[in-house]
């Protein structure tokens, strides 16, 4: 990873991106929150995990980093002795899929969108961070993949997984338990800080807004919302996040349409209104602005049939 970008990221994310699949903090504690109806949220290092337990077994939504698997399993054993039957990945990033290999070897069936398997199997450059990701091992790959929608009927609940395109990545899915009124938003939602938008994997801020609009239309004021990162949330907080994304997108799209370079966009400070509240998490301000800019430029290049350059005028953060 480019050193200048690493210095602008929060330490936990910088370390995670520097060594995909490896937990950086041996003192990670897995925190479990009971959401009712056999559903739980696990927080540790990496993406938040959703858990369904009951007589039919355990279902996990994402699984963080490989070295954390024993701690995650120990947290699950506090509420269930049943096997982990299914792992559903919300997207392909290694802070959500790092435990796949361990769990796959133990007999869990791994499920994800088609694009998740394709990207994991291929590996390649995570362009937003200049990070080369190796191909996943066969045991880590999803063995059941879906296109737009999937349902699992287990533990007395219907689990619905729905794909959204061109948002955080091109293979995002959110998970909805309608009877329990619990939503796992995956990395469509970073609660309290600017979200990663992986433009090299098809992500785009406009797609994030469309995805969040879809979530808001689905839930009500009592819904428990598990974000991809950050604390347990609700509809009001998700709407605030959506409004931030919409204002940033309007400013950024206008600046790019005017032909502004990356450095000119940064100088315009299009996120200034939100930086105090949202700019102290995974992404600091300039990397966030650059990430949104690159996504807009990538889509613009794709629409015109041009091959997008790796570097733009004034670009200083990434090296490939």
Least confident span in 10-24, 170-184, 250-264, 289-303: 10-24
Model pTM above 0.85: yes
Least confident span in 75-84, 87-96, 298-307: 298-307
pLDDT band of 301, cuts 50, 70, 90: confident
pLDDT of 112 over the 70 cut = yes
Q: What average pLDDT does the chain have?
A: 90
pLDDT of 310 over the 80 cut = no
**What pLDDT sits at residue 283?**
87
Q: What would the pLDDT profile of 21-47 be if each residue is shown by its tens digit? A: 444 577 999 999 999 999 999 999 999
pLDDT of 14 over the 70 cut = no
Q: Which residue has the higher pLDDT, 129 or 270?
A: 270
Q: What would the pLDDT profile of 214-262 be if each residue is shown by its tens digit? A: 999 999 999 999 999 999 999 999 999 999 999 999 999 999 999 999 9
Residue by residue, what is the 3-state secondary structure of the chain? CCHHHHHHECHHHHHHHHCCCCCCCCCCCCEEEEEECCEEEEECCCCCEEEECCCCCEEEECCCCHHHHHHHHHHHHCCCCCCEEEEECCCCCHHHHCCHHHHHHCCCEEEEEHHHHHHHHHCEEECCCCEEECCCCHHHCCCEEECCEEEEEECCEEEEEEEECCCCCCCEEEEEECCCCEEECHHHCECCCCCCCCHHHCCCHHHHHHHHHHHHHHCCCCCEEECCECCCECHHHHHHHHHHHHHHHHHHHHHHHCCCCHHHHHHHCCCCCCHHHHCCCCECHHHHHHHHHHHHHHHHHHHHCCCCCCCCCCCCCCCC
**Structural domains of the chain sorted by starting position, each given as residue range(s) with its CATH number in brackets:** 27-241 (3.60.15.10)
**What pLDDT sits at residue 319?**
27
pLDDT of 6 over the 70 cut = no
**What pLDDT sits at residue 24?**
55
pLDDT of 17 over the 70 cut = no
């Amino acid at each position: 990873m480019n050193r200048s970008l690493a210095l602008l990221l929060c330490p936990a994310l910088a370390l995670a991106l520097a060594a995909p699949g490896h937990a950086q903090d041996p003192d990670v504690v897995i925190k479990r929150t009971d959401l009712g109806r056999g559903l739980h949220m696990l927080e540790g290092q990496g993406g938040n995990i959703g858990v369904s337990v009951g007589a039919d077994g355990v279902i996990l939504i994402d699984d963080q980093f490989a070295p954390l698997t024993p701690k995650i399993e120990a947290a699950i054993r506090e509420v269930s002795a049943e096997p982990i039957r299914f792992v559903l990945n919300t997207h392909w990033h290694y802070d959500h899929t790092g435990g796949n290999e361990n769990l796959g070897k133990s007999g869990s069936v791994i499920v994800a969108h088609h694009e998740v398997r394709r990207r994991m199997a291929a590996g390649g450059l995570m362009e937003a961070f200049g990070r080369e990701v190796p191909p996943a091992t066969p045991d880590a790959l999803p063995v059941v993949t879906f296109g737009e929608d999937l349902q699992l009927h287990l533990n007395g609940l219907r689990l619905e997984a729905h794909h959204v395109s061109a948002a955080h990545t091109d293979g995002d899915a959110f998970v909805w338990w309608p009877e329990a009124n619990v939503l796992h938003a995956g990395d469509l939602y970073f609660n309290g800080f600017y979200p990663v938008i992986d433009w090299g994997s098809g992500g785009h801020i406009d797609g994030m807004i469309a995805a969040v609009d879809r979530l808001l239309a689905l839930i009500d004021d009592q819904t428990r919302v598990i974000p991809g990162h950050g604390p347990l949330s609700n509809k009001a907080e998700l709407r605030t996040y959506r409004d931030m994304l919409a204002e940033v997108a309007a400013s950024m799209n206008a600046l790019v349409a005017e032909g502004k370079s990356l450095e000119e966009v940064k100088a315009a400070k299009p996120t200034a209104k939100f930086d105090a509240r949202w700019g102290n998490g995974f992404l600091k301000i300039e990397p966030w602005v650059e990430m949104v800019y690159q996504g807009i430029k990538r889509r613009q290049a794709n629409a015109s049939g041009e091959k997008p350059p790796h570097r733009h005028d004034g670009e200083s953060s990434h090296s490939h």
